Amino acid sequence: MATTLRLILGDQLNHNHSWFTTVDDSVVYVMMEIRPESEYVRHHIQKQLAFFTAMRRFANWLRTRGHRVDYLTITDHRNQHSFLANCQMLVESLGATRFDFIEPDEYRLDQQLADVVAELGLDAAMVDSEHFLTSRTDLGDFFAGKKTYLMESFYRMMRRRHDVLMDGDGPRGGKWNLDTENRKPLPKNHQLPDRPGFANDVRDILIDIETAGLLSFGRVDATALRWPLDRRQALQALQQFVDIALPDFGRYQDAMTSSGSFLYHSLLSFALNVKLLHPREVIDAVVAAGDAHSRDIPFSAVEGFVRQILGWREYMRGIYWSTMPDYADQNYFGHTNRLPSWYWTGDTKMACLRHAITQSLDDAYAHHIQRLMITGNFALLAGIDPDEVGSWYLGIYIDAIEWVEITNTRGMSQFADGGLVATKPYVSSANYINKMSDYCMSCHYSRTLRTGEQACPFNSLYWDFFDRQRHLLGTNHRLSMVYRTLDKLSATDRDAIRRHAKSIRKNLDLL
């Protein structure tokens, strides 16, 4: 009987993929934990553990359904730590005559698997991942000929195309976007809900990782890894989000607090990105809950959440596939500074960065505004090389896979693409951080000062950034207010800001 080898990558754990609807003895599924995939960037230990555990559980699920699976663990003596060498070894031992694989989400893997196909020289096919709501080329086609790729237009097209929150041809409730209702800070003494995680005991996998000598960073309690790591847990996590957090998701979506990490966020990005959850089922669950409990769940929460999944997530994937590989080299401002050493320890006097980084080292998680307006904001103002920033985000977060990490980091956060994703740089002084969090209250620095030892570093860096980048940003109409305010400062003030910011940028490690 001619055998087919089918490769499943670590982020392709889609239980509902049509591959798995029939059991076929002539098909062998292969999954592998290979060294280059664990080492192309230094990963948080929770990310390594989550991937290996989810992959192993998926392989076991396939076996219980009767499928033939060959799984190469990181310590398997047969493992040659290369997609090609491992596939060649299996093709030979099984006498396979055909090689199939699922469309990878990353450019790097796309190239590698094309090489594998060429080298194997067998009949081969790449099949759809049956996960996304758009194809790789949909966004590029939609914006063909346009200079900027406005997310809002893409989002409206997606609402119409997928008939989500629609009323005829218009948006339900009359407005496409209710974001203005979604920008509240937490009230004083606000009690956050408990966000129970899963108690995954992953000690055996930790031993494998240590035995293999894989490098990592961050902290973990290997007796209780909190992230959903199989289909049952992923569905439970979705239900928990809807029950516990959805009603306040919108309202406090941008809020930050030193007394909690998760607030009202869904914590579903890992399960979504490894395909344990399908975006459509997540959208449907949220819309259904909103319909069933419209008194408790504001429509702005439902719309705000749908926009993240149906809009931003698909949009970022489209940006990725329409701009790679060039996107990975974009550096609009020509930034070259090194990331301060405290990004790896959290050991800084800046309370906002200390909290966001410490939390990321503890949980492999920070929510969107922490990533954008604390760690990303600082990196951009400090002129850090986008390659350094990208490696940090790609390593530290549980959900970091290049297609969604690089577009968010290089594009949305660092404006390194010159404004393809964001219409203006997402930067702020202490004002915004103080408005949206309680960080400044317990900070060594003073949020109201612009210069001097005690001054909040964000303040001088912010004005100095716009001053230095006037040649690139001065004509952006969304920044006219900023430049008007800058121009009202006296020459002496501007000079003091420049000098202070320069000294900060030279001594980032001391902050």
Contact set with ligand FAD (CB under 6 A): 265-269, 272-273, 308-309, 312-313, 316, 367-368, 371-372, 376, 393, 397, 399-400, 404-405, 408-409, 412-413
- The pair of structure tokens assigned to 387 is 């390659």
DSSP state of 384: B
Report the C-alpha gap between 123 and 131 in whole angstroms: 25
Which residues, 6+ apart, have CB-to-CB distance to 157 below 8 Å? Answer: 142
Q: Does the protein bind ligand SF4 through residue 30 (CB under 6 A)? A: no
What is the SS3 assignment for 30? strand
361 binds ligand SF4 (CB under 6 A): no
Is 439 a binding residue for ligand SF4 by CB under 6 A? The answer is: yes
CB of 305 to ligand FAD, least distance (A): 6
Contact call for residue 31 and ligand SF4 (CB under 6 A): no
- Chain length of the chain: 511
Smaller CB distance to ligand FAD: residue 172 or 368? 368
- Residue 150 phi/psi, 5° resolution? -70, 120
Which amino acid is residue 202, in one-letter code?
A: V
Q: Which does 458 bind (CB under 5 to 8 A by kind): ligand SF4, ligand FAD, none?
A: ligand SF4
CB of 430 to ligand SF4, least distance (A): 4
> Tokens at residue 371, please?
């990533």
For residues 67 and 313, which CB has a smaller minimum distance to ligand FAD in the complex?
Answer: 313
> What are the tokens at 31?
């999954």
Q: How far apart are CA 305 and CA 118, in angstroms?
A: 42
Chain position carrying tokens 């989550």: 50
351 binds, among ligand SF4, ligand FAD, none (CB under 5 to 8 A by kind): ligand SF4
From the list ligand SF4, ligand FAD, none, pick the one residue 447 interacts with, judged by a Cβ distance below 5 to 8 Å according to partner type: ligand SF4
Q: Which is nearer to ligand FAD, 149 or 393 (CB)?
A: 393
Judged by CB under 6 A, how many residues of this single chain contact ligand SF4? 13
Q: Closer to ligand FAD at the Cβ: 32 or 151?
A: 151
Q: Report the nearest approach of ligand FAD to the CB of residue 315 (Å).
A: 7
Instruction: Rule CB under 6 A: choose which of 433, 479, 482, 497 binds ligand SF4.
Output: 433
Contacts of 210 (CB under 8 A, 6+ apart): none
Of 304, 276, 301, the C-alpha closest to 289 is 301
Considering the complex, state which of residue 208 and residue 405 has its C-beta at the smaller distance from ligand FAD.
405
Please report which helix (H) or strand (E) contains residue 179, including its range: none
Q: Does 343 bind ligand SF4 (CB under 6 A)?
A: no
Helix (H/G/I), strand (E/B), else coil: 102: strand
Counting contacts by CB under 6 A, is residue 352 touching ligand SF4?
A: yes
Alpha helices by DSSP H, 213-363: 231-240, 246-249, 269-273, 279-292, 299-306, 314-323, 351-363
Strand 123-127 relative to strand 27-32: parallel, antiparallel, unpaired? unpaired
Per the CB < 8 A criterion, the answer to whether 351 and 444 are in contact is yes
Closer residue to ligand SF4, CB minimum distance, 109 or 351: 351
| Residue 309 interaction partner, one of ligand FAD, ligand SF4, none, beta carbon < 5-8 Å per kind | ligand FAD
Q: Does 456 sit near ligand SF4 (CB under 6 A)?
A: yes
Contacting range for ligand SF4; rule: CB under 6 A; set: 14-22, 129-137, 153-161, 350-358: 350-358
**Shortest CB 122 distance to ligand SF4, Å:** 56
Partner interacting with residue 254 (select from ligand FAD, ligand SF4, none; CB below 5-8 Å by kind): none
User: Is the preceding peptide bond at 425 cis, omega within 30 degrees of 0?
Assistant: no
Spatial CB neighbours of 377, under 8 Å, sequence gap ≥ 6: 413, 426, 427, 428, 458
Cα-based torsion angle of the residue sequence 125, 131, 134, 135 in order, rounded to the nearest 10 degrees: -10
Nearest distance, CB of residue 153 and ligand SF4, angstroms:
34
Work out what residue 352 binds among ligand SF4, ligand FAD, none; the CB cut-off runs from 5 to 8 Å by kind. ligand SF4
CA dihedral (335, 340, 346, 348) in degrees, to 10, reads -110
Q: Is 427 in the site for ligand SF4 (CB under 6 A)?
A: no
- Shorter beta-carbon distance to ligand SF4: residue 86 or 460: 460
Residue 354: which of 258, 449, 428 has the closest Cα? Answer: 258
Q: Which does 229 bind (CB under 5 to 8 A by kind): ligand SF4, ligand FAD, none?
A: none
Nearer to ligand SF4, 19 or 439 (CB): 439
Closest to ligand FAD by CB, 268 vs 357, is 268
| Residue 430 within binding range of ligand SF4, rule CB under 6 A | yes
Q: Is 461 in the site for ligand SF4 (CB under 6 A)?
A: no
Instruction: Answer yes or no whether residue 440 interacts with ligand SF4 by CB under 6 A.
Output: yes
In terms of CB distance, is 176 or 445 closer to ligand SF4?
445
d(CA 183, CA 37): 38
For residues 99 and 439, which CB has a smaller minimum distance to ligand SF4 in the complex? 439
Shortest Cβ 245–ligand FAD spacing (Å)? 8
500 near ligand SF4 (CB under 6 A)? no
- Count of Cβ atoms closer than 10 Å to residue 361 Cβ: 18
Of the two residues 370 and 459, which places its CB atom closer to ligand FAD in the complex? 370
CA distances from 364 to 360, 394, 449 (A): 5, 11, 33
User: Which tokens belong to 442?
Assistant: 């317990």
Residue listed under structure tokens 């952006």? 476
User: 208, 73 in Cβ contact below 8 A?
Assistant: yes
Which residues make up the interface to ligand SF4 (CB under 6 A)?
350-352, 430, 433-434, 439-440, 443, 445, 447, 456, 458
